[in-house]
Amino acid sequence: MQKSAKFEILIYIMFISGFLLWQDLDLSWEFFRLNQFIHVFISITIIFFLSLYLYSHIQEHKNTIIKRKKTYKKRKQVFLGILIMLTLIILLVSGTYLFLWGNRGGDTYGIISNFLHFYLSFFFVYLIIYHSYYLGRNGLKKDKNKIKQVINKEEKNLC
């Protein structure tokens, strides 16, 4: 299993545990408390390991990011990567606020960070799915085309 797949699974678990913290679900306190611990623990784990992974990922794609003349697909990939990074930063800031001070009810910052964290998490998961599966499928198609080309060359050499 690749590193990115492991992070994806953790992100989905974090999303589900965060969704279960939604007030409208009205869960029991024991389940809420356990789920909140799981959500915070996975979040801290992801942020720690993801920061190391993102640094190596950015270094790996540095030439694509910096290059001025890009194809449409590369521009789309770079924009998507920057959008994922900005979304992750906003989620991190709002999650830290919610962890330290929380949503106390009448607090404007608490209400804003609560809504921002909740609704932005849906967008973040959508971006991760799009980034993983859409871009991943294109890579598989390229690999299949290369294999077909090699097989066709070998068939021509045999004939």
**26 in helix, strand or coil?**
coil
Question: Are residues 103 and 115 in contact, defined by beta-carbon separation less than 8 angstroms?
Answer: no
| 24 domain-assigned | yes
Q: What is the pTM of this model?
A: 0.74
| 156 domain-assigned | no
| 154 domain-assigned | no
Per-residue pLDDT of the chain (159 residues; tens, 9 = 90+): 676 777 788 888 888 888 888 877 788 888 888 888 888 888 888 888 887 877 777 777 777 677 777 677 777 777 888 898 899 899 999 988 988 888 777 788 888 888 899 999 999 999 988 887 776 555 455 555 666 666 666 666 665
Task: Determine the structural domain holding residue 41 and report its residue range.
Answer: 3-132
| 54 domain-assigned | yes
Question: Are residues 117 and 98 in contact, defined by beta-carbon separation less than 8 angstroms?
Answer: yes
| 150 domain-assigned | no
Specify the number of domains making up the chain.
1
| 13 domain-assigned | yes
Token pair for 87: 């979304």
* DSSP label of 106: S
Rounded to an integer, what distance in angstroms lies between the CA atom of residue 95 and that of residue 122? 14
Rounded to an integer, what distance in angstroms lies between the CA atom of residue 112 and that of residue 14? 20
